[in-house]
């Protein structure tokens, strides 16, 4: 074939000079990332992106975000050099500076903060991505600050908190061995397409599926039962299912009798939630509640699939999820094949089936030697259950008040103020800082309020360690050189540690030495990983052991599965923090605030994902944005649209007591009558501005993004 034709087809080979290099995609950055085959031409430019066929995560496929990798990597809005603020905060006026000047300035402020106020007055924050988090946490603690914070303060940690309060450890669904799948407010076709593939395969082999989701989604299309509770009522639904399971003697008596704490009180409490009462609270028919409870409890092997954020983004979120997770133990489906298995975490929240020293690496200084973490006073359950970090939702209040101690320096990596409710108030709180540096790919609206912006590179321009639950591990190498004057987050962290002259031998040893330290118990080394650029199956994977509680007990204060939380008992119960999984309607709801509901009669729910977007990062990519023309828009049911005189595409105003935004109307049966759904993260219409900063779950501090009250008005018209 003619060389010109080969070049047009971007065919790798000696003739074209195109080489395939292995990498992973970190655009959406969940616990496991997709393998990439990047075709790189003679000039070092990526000319084609494909999925790696041998990678167990995606098996040659890519989602719309991964397919747009080149647009992401070569986007014109990338930060190209360190930028120092030259105008007022928020003006977006910067001048380029050298890396030496930028890093010296950051170190000077960190040293001044430590000397004048103490190390706790510096905060180290991680948004996206996640690969560098072990190193950032070590930097934070080695410096002496307890205030390592991440976006897990509004994603993942509250889910983990609920599981730890019930049975002490995260328990993942064993989809491949389950006879019944109970999906609770999770839509993997949009949020985790690889899990969707596994679910499809299991259904094709005869498994049944129940989906609990207020919305109609591609996932619900294959459900044998679809339960649509009103947003924020999941706890009542779970308690009503438990009432059926207990009343009809469908629960696992042996497990409950031998391994549970507080069952008698729990049983007495759920008696007040028969399906008829559950129907009144949730909108799900009593018949469907009974059928779902019987299907789940009667299945030989039943797995419950959940999401990191859907249920906990309510002001009653942790209690709701506790009630949901208690169904797993109630039916004996905990830590068994085909149920929910408790596997040890290897690295960055992934059960990679190898032992590691991640915790020893990251927690290089005990909490007892540092000041209380941010959020410890406002949310006292947090530091007792979440070992990993502080609660970032409390940061704006501490910035404003300076209590219990001032915060003067903020070192951010991918910090996005739109992760907080009342994001404009968060920006205002930054005025109390002496210094704010943010490391980013793009000059975001948050970066415009920074004193210094550092340019980060993408996953294809750096080295990154990842583990996968299937027993696979990869240490990527840069497929292309970092663009412009960008650097990897890890390089920035290690250089800060060097310039701070920290007494930390692992920082002095370097990045790869740190990886060798973390992986030492597994016997895997950096040298070996480099010989497998596309990744490798782990040798001698840790065997999966069922019912580990028989020898270890549960990692709860009582050593048992807790239907009643002994920790919440000890801390003293208060409204929303009861030891039993007490159901309370959302703080702003027709049940609790009827006078507010008269003026704001619709439920506002936000936070679900579209398959082509992740927060605000991918809105700027032409390929992905073209898949949702007319965005931003809010979803309305046909019934509500007809009642309000709204047609498809009409401009509408969504209002709450905190303000309003203007968007287009998208009329769809995906959304329930009485509910307005709005996707988050869009700068031109940020739905999080419609919530107050204190609209939070009292246990976790998580924002109630998915259930508040609003009204909708057609712009230029009058509602009937």
Under 8 Å between Cβ of 665 and 718: no
The DSSP secondary-structure symbol of 179 reads: S
Q: Is 507 exposed, middle or buried (0-12, 13-18, 19+ CB in 10 A)?
A: buried
The pair of three-digit structure tokens given for residue 492, joined into one six-digit string: 């920035």
User: Distance between CA 238 and CA 580 in Å, rounded?
Assistant: 13
The pair of three-digit structure tokens given for residue 653, joined into one six-digit string: 């105003």
E strands, 137-220, are 148-150, 172-173, 180-184, 208-212
In 3D, which of 467, 452, 394, 474 has the Cα closest to residue 426? 394
User: Distance between CA 395 and CA 427 in Å, rounded?
Assistant: 11
In the predicted model, is pLDDT for residue 96 greater than 60? yes
User: Distance between CA 273 and CA 123 in Å, rounded?
Assistant: 45
In the predicted model, is pLDDT for residue 32 greater than 50? yes
Cα distance between the two ends of the chain: 68
User: Distance between CA 297 and CA 250 in Å, rounded?
Assistant: 6
- The secondary element (H helix, E strand) that includes residue 512 is helix 511-519
User: Distance between CA 553 and CA 561 in Å, rounded?
Assistant: 9
Residue 164, classed as helix, strand or coil, is helix
Strands 180-184 and 208-212, bridge-based pairing: parallel
- Token look-up 């496929």 returns 61
The mean-pLDDT minimum among 121-130, 192-201, 598-607 falls in 192-201
| Burial annotation 338-369 (CB, 10 A radius, 16+ → b, else e) | bbbbbbebbbbbbbbbbebebeebbbbbeeee
Q: What pLDDT score does 31 carry?
A: 65
User: Distance between CA 291 and CA 210 in Å, rounded?
Assistant: 10
In the predicted model, is pLDDT for residue 1 greater than 80? no
Q: What pLDDT score does 719 carry?
A: 53
- Which strands form 435-440's sheet, in the order they lie side by side? 94-96, 83-85, 452-455, 435-440, 409-413, 122-126, 148-150
Q: What pLDDT score does 191 carry?
A: 76
Beta-bridge partners for 410: 123, 436
What are residue 489's phi and psi, to 5 degrees?
A: -60, -40
Q: What pLDDT score does 671 carry?
A: 95
Beta-bridge partners for 663: 652
The residues, any chain, with a CB within 8 Å of residue 341's CB and separated by 6 or more, are: 171, 172, 174, 335, 544, 546
Confidence of residue 717 (pLDDT cuts 50, 70, 90): low
Q: What secondary structure does DSSP assign to 38-98, as a single string?
A: EEE-TTS-EEEEEE-TT-TTTTT---HHHHTHHHHHT-TTB--S-EEE-SSTTS--EEE--
Q: For the chain, how many residues are written?
A: 720
- Mean pLDDT of the residues in the chain: 94
The answer to whether the Cα torsion of 377, 381, 386, 392 is positive or negative is negative
The pair of three-digit structure tokens given for residue 238, joined into one six-digit string: 């779970």
Q: What pLDDT score does 656 carry?
A: 98
Confidence of residue 30 (pLDDT cuts 50, 70, 90): low
In the predicted model, is pLDDT for residue 699 greater than 80? yes
The residues, any chain, with a CB within 8 Å of residue 522's CB and separated by 6 or more, are: 346, 354, 355, 356, 538
In 3D, which of 130, 125, 132, 138 has the Cα closest to residue 362? 138
The residues, any chain, with a CB within 8 Å of residue 351's CB and separated by 6 or more, are: 172, 343, 344, 345, 467, 469
pLDDT, tens digit, 9 for 90 and up, residues 403-441: 999 999 999 999 999 999 999 999 999 999 999 999 999
Q: What secondary structure does DSSP assign to 240-261, as a single string?
A: HHHHHHHHTT-S-HHHHHHHEE
Q: What pLDDT score does 613 carry?
A: 77
The residues, any chain, with a CB within 8 Å of residue 118's CB and separated by 6 or more, are: 144, 371, 405
The answer to whether the Cα torsion of 388, 449, 464, 681 is positive or negative is positive
Under 8 Å between Cβ of 576 and 698: yes
The DSSP secondary-structure symbol of 327 reads: H
User: Distance between CA 161 and CA 385 in Å, rounded?
Assistant: 6
The pair of three-digit structure tokens given for residue 132, joined into one six-digit string: 């560098």
Q: What pLDDT score does 718 carry?
A: 54
User: Distance between CA 74 and CA 431 in Å, rounded?
Assistant: 33
What are residue 250's phi and psi, to 5 degrees?
A: -95, 0
The pair of three-digit structure tokens given for residue 269, joined into one six-digit string: 């409490």
Taking residues 522-528, report their average pLDDT: 98
- Token look-up 């000047």 returns 101
Query: Residues 153, 313, 317, 654: what is their CA dihedral angle, to the nearest 10 degrees?
Result: 140
Q: What pLDDT score does 34 carry?
A: 93
User: Distance between CA 358 and CA 133 in Å, rounded?
Assistant: 11
Query: Residues 689, 691, 692, 697: what is their CA dihedral angle, to the nearest 10 degrees?
Result: -140
User: Distance between CA 545 and CA 307 in Å, rounded?
Assistant: 24
More confident position, 623 or 331: 331
More confident position, 191 or 486: 486
In 3D, which of 697, 695, 708, 691 has the Cα closest to residue 575? 697
Under 8 Å between Cβ of 512 and 346: no
pLDDT, tens digit, 9 for 90 and up, residues 51-60: 999 999 888 8
Identify the structural domains of the chain with CATH numbers, from first to last. 3-73 (2.20.25.90), 83-153+364-462+484-508 (3.40.50.740), 171-341 (3.40.228.10), 594-714 (2.40.40.20)
pLDDT, tens digit, 9 for 90 and up, residues 75-87: 999 999 999 999 9
Q: What pLDDT score does 629 carry?
A: 74
pLDDT, tens digit, 9 for 90 and up, residues 272-284: 999 999 999 999 9
Percent of the chain with pLDDT over 90: 86
Confidence of residue 235 (pLDDT cuts 50, 70, 90): very high
pLDDT, tens digit, 9 for 90 and up, residues 297-314: 999 999 999 998 889 999
Q: What pLDDT score does 720 carry?
A: 47
- The secondary element (H helix, E strand) that includes residue 709 is strand 708-714
Strands 464-468 and 561-562, bridge-based pairing: unpaired
Under 8 Å between Cβ of 301 and 141: no
Q: What pLDDT score does 498 carry?
A: 98
Under 8 Å between Cβ of 40 and 19: yes
Beta-bridge partners for 476: 464
């Amino acid at each position: 074939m003619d060389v010109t034709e080969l070049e047009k087809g971007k065919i790798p080979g000696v003739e074209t000079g195109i080489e395939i290099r292995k990498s992973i995609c970190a655009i959406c950055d969940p616990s496991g990332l997709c393998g990439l085959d990047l075709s790189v031409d003679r000039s070092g430019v990526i000319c084609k992106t494909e999925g790696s066929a041998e990678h167990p995560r995606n098996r040659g496929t890519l989602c719309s975000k991964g397919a747009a990798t080149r647009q992401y990597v070569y986007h014109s809005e990338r930060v190209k050099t360190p930028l120092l603020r030259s105008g007022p905060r928020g003006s977006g006026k910067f001048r380029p500076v050298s890396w030496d000047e930028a890093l010296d300035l950051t170190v000077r402020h960190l040293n001044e903060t430590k000397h004048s106020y103490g190390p706790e007055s510096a905060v180290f924050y991680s948004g996206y991505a996640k690969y560098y988090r072990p190193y950032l946490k070590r930097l934070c603690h080695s410096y002496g600050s307890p205030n390592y914070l991440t976006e897990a303060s509004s994603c993942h940690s509250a889910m983990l908190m609920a599981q730890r309060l019930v049975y002490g450890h995260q328990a993942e669904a064993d989809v491949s061995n389950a006879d019944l799948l109970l999906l609770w407010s999770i839509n993997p076709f949009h949020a985790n397409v690889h899990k969707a593939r596994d679910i499809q395969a299991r259904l094709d082999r005869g498994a049944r599926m129940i989906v609990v989701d207020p919305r109609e989604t591609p996932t619900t299309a294959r459900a044998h039962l679809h339960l649509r509770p009103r947003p924020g009522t999941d706890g009542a639904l779970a308690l009503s299912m438990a009432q059926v399971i207990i009343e009809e003697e469908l629960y696992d008596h042996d497990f409950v009798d031998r391994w549970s704490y507080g069952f008698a009180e729990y049983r007495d409490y759920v008696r007040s939630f028969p399906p008829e009462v559950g129907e009144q609270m949730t909108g799900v028919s009593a018949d469907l509640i009974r059928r779902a409870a019987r299907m789940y409890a009667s299945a030989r092997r039943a797995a419950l699939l959940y999401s990191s954020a859907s249920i906990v983004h309510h002001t009653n979120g942790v209690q709701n999820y506790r009630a949901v997770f208690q169904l797993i133990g109630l039916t004996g489906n905990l830590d068994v094949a085909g149920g929910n298995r408790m596997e040890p975490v290897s690295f960055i929240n992934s059960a990679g089936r190898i032992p590691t020293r991640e915790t020893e690496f990251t927690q290089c200084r005990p909490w007892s030697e540092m000041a209380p973490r941010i959020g410890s006073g406002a949310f006292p359950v947090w530091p007792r259950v979440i070992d990993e970090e502080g609660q970032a939702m409390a940061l704006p209040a501490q910035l404003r008040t300076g209590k219990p101690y001032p915060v003067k320096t903020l070192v951010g990596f991918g910090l996005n103020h739109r992760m907080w409710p009342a994001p404009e108030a968060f920006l205002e709180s930054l005025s109390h800082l002496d210094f704010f540096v943010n490391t980013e790919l793009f000059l975001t609206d948050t970066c415009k309020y920074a004193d210094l912006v550092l340019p980060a590179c993408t996953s294809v321009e750096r080295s990154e360690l990842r583990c996968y639950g299937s027993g696979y591990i990869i240490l990527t190498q840069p497929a292309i050189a970092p663009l412009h004057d960008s650097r990897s987050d890890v390089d920035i962290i290690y250089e800060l540690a060097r310039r701070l002259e920290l007494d930390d031998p692992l920082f002095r040893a370097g990045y790869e030495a740190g990886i060798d330290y973390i992986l030492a118990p597994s016997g895997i080394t950096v040298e070996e990983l480099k010989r497998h650029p596309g990744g490798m199956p782990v040798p001698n994977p840790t065997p999966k052991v069922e019912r580990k509680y028989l020898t270890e007990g549960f990692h709860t204060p009582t050593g048992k599965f807790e239907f009643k939380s002994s920790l919440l008992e000890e801390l003293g119960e208060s409204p929303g923090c009861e030891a039993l999984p007490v159901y309370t309607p959302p703080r702003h709801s027709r049940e609790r605030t009827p006078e507010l509901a008269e003026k704001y009669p619709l439920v506002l729910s936000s936070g679900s994902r579209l398959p082509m977007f992740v927060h605000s990062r991918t809105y700027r990519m032409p390929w992905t944005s073209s898949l949702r023309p007319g965005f931003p828009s809010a979803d309305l049911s046909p019934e509500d649209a007809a009642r309000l005189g709204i047609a498809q595409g009409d401009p509408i105003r969504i209002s709450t007591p905190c303000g309003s935004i203007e968007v287009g109307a998208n009329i769809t049966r995906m959304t329930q009558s009485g509910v307005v759904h709005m996707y988050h993260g869009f700068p031109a219409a940020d739905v999080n501005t419609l919530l107050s900063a204190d609209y939070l779950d009292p246990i976790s501090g998580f924002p109630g993004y998915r259930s508040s009250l609003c009204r909708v008005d057609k712009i230029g018209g009058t509602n009937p």
